[in-house]
Amino acid sequence: MRISLRQLSVFLSVARHQSYTRAAEELNLTQPAVFTQVKQLEESLGVPLLDRIGKRMQPTEAGRVVVEGARETLDAVGRMEMRLADMRGLREGRLTLAIVSTAQYFLPRLLGQFCDANPGIEVALTVTNRQAVLARLAAGEDDLCILGTPPEGLDVVAAAIADNPLVIIARPDHPLASETEIPPERVAEEAFILRERGSGTRLAVERFFRARGLTLPVRMELGSNEAIKQAVIGGLGLAALSRDTLALEGAVGIVRVLDVAGFPLLRQWQAAYPRGKHLSVAAEAFLDHLAAHARDAVRDSGRVLPGRTGAAMAGSEGPLRET
């Protein structure tokens, strides 16, 4: 019996669409080419595989057996190819990452070190807000996603990789800038500049104030951390941002971090991927790189970042806490 993987995958496509024409469209082939592949498969196996019922091509009983066998065969070949790609892994791998926009202040540096050490790895990085990263995580579009709070209701594995404290900032000449232990109630009297809906930063800060029965008076919504800093410098109000975003401004005193009771909100950056996803060698190596960085960062503090967990994700969009 001489059957080819090509014939099996063409037959699977016809069986799935119940149409030679649609299979041809999917496979970028002509309709006669698809027909010929299926015909040759039928001849090799010695049984008819498809019945024409009205306009649909439906698998015969033998055809259903072949559908099952073809799926198993093609899956096994796919797994074999992935293992071989893994063996080549770090020499010629590809790493796709989706990160929330605020992570752009720390992740590219770690990525740079990783790429220096592994020059064969090609990286595709998508930077967007939390809501969009969650959608990509749910669809399994990337090797790894980096976000500020573990998602709720998604079956994923996550690892804390770095601290992500959230602070409230003001212009240095703001009346609250020289006060200490400022109550959240006092802060909630000030005009606020918030990130756009769907942002993890916004979610965290709104949740903090809502838990205390407070609503922030929103003067403006902006879709970028940099624009928010400029608005604060421009005197438009207070804002809550990840401390990572202030590496430069904090140092030169353009904005002031306020001493608000309950702040900084202690959060941690998470690297996450769908449970059950086969991580490529490149993705595993990058996770190891992030974990090593996390260990270095906490060594002096004596704290221990939790390892990779699945359970930690469930319900973790509840009250903010240090994990």
What angle do the packed helices 61-92 and 281-299 form, to 10 degrees? 50
For the CB of residue 262, give the shortest distance to ligand PGA in the complex, in Å. Answer: 17
Tell me whether residue 42 or residue 244 sits nearer to ligand PGA (CB atom). Answer: 244
Q: Which is nearer to ligand PGA, 37 or 101 (CB)?
A: 101
The least distance separating ligand PGA from the CB of residue 161, rounded to whole angstroms, comes to 12
Least distance to ligand PGA from the beta carbon of 10, Å?
43
Give all strands (DSSP E) within the chain, no chain letters.
50-53, 56-59, 94-100, 122-128, 144-147, 156-163, 166-170, 192-195, 218-222, 238-242, 256-257, 268-274
**Nearer to ligand PGA among residue 37 and residue 199 (C-beta):** 199
- Interface with ligand PGA (CB under 6 A): 100-102, 129-130, 147-149, 164, 195, 199-201, 242
CA distances from 188 to 129, 180, 212, 213 (A): 25, 16, 10, 10
CB of 219: closest distance to ligand PGA in angstroms?
18
Q: Minimum CB separation from ligand PGA for residue 135, in Å?
A: 12
**Which CB, 13 or 201, lies closer to ligand PGA?**
201
- Going by DSSP bridges, is the β-strand pair 238-242/166-170 parallel, antiparallel, or unpaired? antiparallel
**Cβ proximity to ligand PGA, 19 vs 164, nearer residue:** 164
Token digits of residue 90: 């770090």
Token pair 């090593």 in the structure block, residue: 292
The residue among 190 and 206 lying less far from ligand PGA, judged by its C-beta, is: 206
Closest-CA residue to 293 (of 102, 147, 110, 95) = 110
Instruction: Tell me the two tokens of residue 81.
Output: 């190819």
Q: Residue with the closest Cβ to ligand PGA?
A: 200
d(CA 219, CA 209): 16
CB of 211 to ligand PGA, least distance (A): 17
